Amino acid sequence: MQDGSVSPIGAFFRNKWVRLILVLDAIAIICIVVALIIDSTKQSIITFNVVPADSQISLNGKSGYSNGSYRLVPGIYNVEISHEGLDAKKFKVDLEKDGISAIITFLHQGENFDFYTLRDNIGDYLSLAEIASAEYNQTTDQDISAEGFITEFQKNYDLYSAQLPIEYRESEGYGANLSILKNITIRADYDCDVTLCVEALMVGTDSRGFVNSLLQEKGFNVEDFEIEYKIY
């Protein structure tokens, strides 16, 4: 145009807001390309199977990892696994190109495995039995401190599943003069806050010691169960 006026297209691209949007679009495209390039270098996989399941996992000091699989750039990684109240564990993993590595382990406190540290979650009990049993210990660090516990827990869990409920009736007299001395039902409580819970329903009697003796007769280790006594 000979009169010096700007064409509509030129005016459009001279608008500062249009130029800002174009710059932002260019930056976004560059970021996407860089992300795709970085992602293409993540050719190795690391998998975590840790008990307790809510343990915190960090790689080279970066937290936010949990049980599952992650695709990473090949290299050497320092892995730290921690949980409140339990001893942390550290591993060094050399991830090769196209390689797959797994960290399978559990946390505990001190030298001996403590039954009660995992008491809040039946899933943790069962996961531990899968990865650290004496017959097939899969743990990366070959930690055997839980093997005896798993054997003992499995015994209790089998009893819990097979032996309950326990019904007990004790009476005296005959016919219309029959008196109920003890009317007790012991059953599994699946709605409690901890793993192995038992409800003892007692009608007209408070026989807590007798309830414990009934469980012991069936092979239960009373100390391993949380018992709620209910009197009606």
Confidence class for position 11, pLDDT limits 50, 70, 90: low
Lowest mean pLDDT: which of 66-70, 87-91, 219-223? Answer: 219-223
Number of residues assigned to the chain: 232
Listed in order, strand segments (DSSP E) in the chain are 44-51, 56-59, 62-65, 68-72, 75-82, 89-95, 100-106, 166-172, 179-188, 197-202, 226-231
> pLDDT tens digits for 144-188?
988 988 888 888 888 888 889 999 988 876 655 667 678 899 998
Q: Can the peptide bond before residue 165 be classed as cis, meaning omega within 30 degrees of 0?
A: yes
Of 203 and 223, the one with more pLDDT: 203
Q: How far apart are CA 160 and CA 218, in angstroms?
A: 10
pLDDT computed for residue 150 by the predictor: 86
In the predicted structure, residue 138 carries a pLDDT above the cut 80: yes
Helix (H) or strand (E) holding 120: none
Question: For residue 99, what pLDDT is reported?
Answer: 86
Phi and psi torsions of 125, nearest 5° = -60, -50
**Which position has the token pair 């839980």?**
146
pLDDT at 7 (0 to 100):
57
Q: Please tell me the pTM assigned to this model.
A: 0.64
- Neighbouring CB atoms inside 10 A of 214's CB total 18
What is the rounded average pLDDT for all residues in the chain?
83
The upper half-sphere exposure of residue 185, i.e. CA atoms within 13 Å in the direction of its Cβ, equals 7
Dump pLDDT digits (tens) for 39-58: 555 578 999 999 999 999 99
Distance CA 1, CA 105 (A): 76
pLDDT digits (tens, 9 = 90+) for 111-133: 767 655 666 677 888 899 899 99
> Which pLDDT band, with edges at 50, 70 and 90, does 15 fall under?
low
Place of tokens 């130029």: 19
C-alpha distances in angstroms, 191 versus 122, 163, 196, 199? 12, 18, 10, 10
Tell me the mean pLDDT in the region 68-81: 94
Q: Give the strand pairing for 89-95 and 100-106.
A: unpaired
How do the residues of the chain divide into helix, strand and coil, expressed in percent and rounded to 5? 35, 30, 35
**24 pLDDT more than 80:** no
